Amino acid sequence: MKNYGTTLAFVTSLALLGPSTGCAVSSSAPGMSGETILVNEENRATLEGVEMRIERRAGESTFSLVEGSDWQIVAPGVWELPSGDGNTQRVVVGEEGHRWMVEQADAELDALHAQLDGEEVKPELAQKIATAEELRMTAQRLSNSAAFGPSPQAVGCNISLYTGPSSYVTSPPIAGAAALGQIVCSGGCATFTVTSQACCSGWCSSVSAFTSTVCATPWTAGTIVYGAGAGAAAVNVNPPNVTQSSSSFFCQ
């Protein structure tokens, strides 16, 4: 799936939900559906999304997910967090979880292809298939976890993930889809990579990946694509190779 717009950097303000004492980069908003923002900045705003905490003990190379009481385990390495609006958020961790995510993407594609009856393909179905294929490719890429050397110190980091309408995280609100991750660490610093992709009505951004060493200042990275219609988004933070995806929202 091609990105039908232009890749732009910092073309709007991030209105990260929560108290903010930092500054945001702003410019004129894009005017064409499918245009994309690549987000890669440090700030003191708090991104309200699905939040978790990961910890790494001194001398260890891997992070572990500290489970929240509201998470529901649906498969090995797969957690779901139901929200009040009926939109279930999903978090996938590690090799087993990402293998499950690829299998789910395959099943969704099989179901969509089964709707093809040899007649002229309806544009809406074609868009759904194109989006599902793009997200399946992303899931496959994210199934490969990176290796990290042991850490000399214990580090704890909070990760917030957001996949949903972009109007909730941009100022002024602009319709679209967003896939964002924010990380802040205590007790030391750690290096993370945020990989993201967002889609509206079958128009998907290119997969973006940003790497940064994160300390006590929150780091936000990800993708925002402008548009309308059915939205889909996925964001991954590695380590610990944790992914949140959502495809049941409307771009707004």
Query: Does residue 109 sit within a domain?
Result: no
Report the C-alpha gap between 87 and 194 in whole angstroms.
23
Number of domains in the chain: 1
Query: Does residue 23 sit within a domain?
Result: yes
Query: Does residue 102 sit within a domain?
Result: no
- pLDDT category at 37 given cuts 50, 70, 90 is confident
Helix (H, G, I), strand (E, B) or coil at 135: helix
Query: Does residue 123 sit within a domain?
Result: no
**pTM exceeding the 0.75 threshold for the entire prediction:** no
Backbone angles phi, psi at 189, to 5 degrees: -125, 160
51-109 residue pLDDT tens? 777 777 776 656 666 655 566 778 877 877 766 665 666 777 777 778 888 888 888 88
Query: Does residue 119 sit within a domain?
Result: no
Query: Does residue 104 sit within a domain?
Result: no
Report the C-alpha gap between 137 and 140 in whole angstroms.
5
Domain of residue 19 covers 7-96+144-250
Query: Does residue 110 sit within a domain?
Result: no
Query: Does residue 223 sit within a domain?
Result: yes
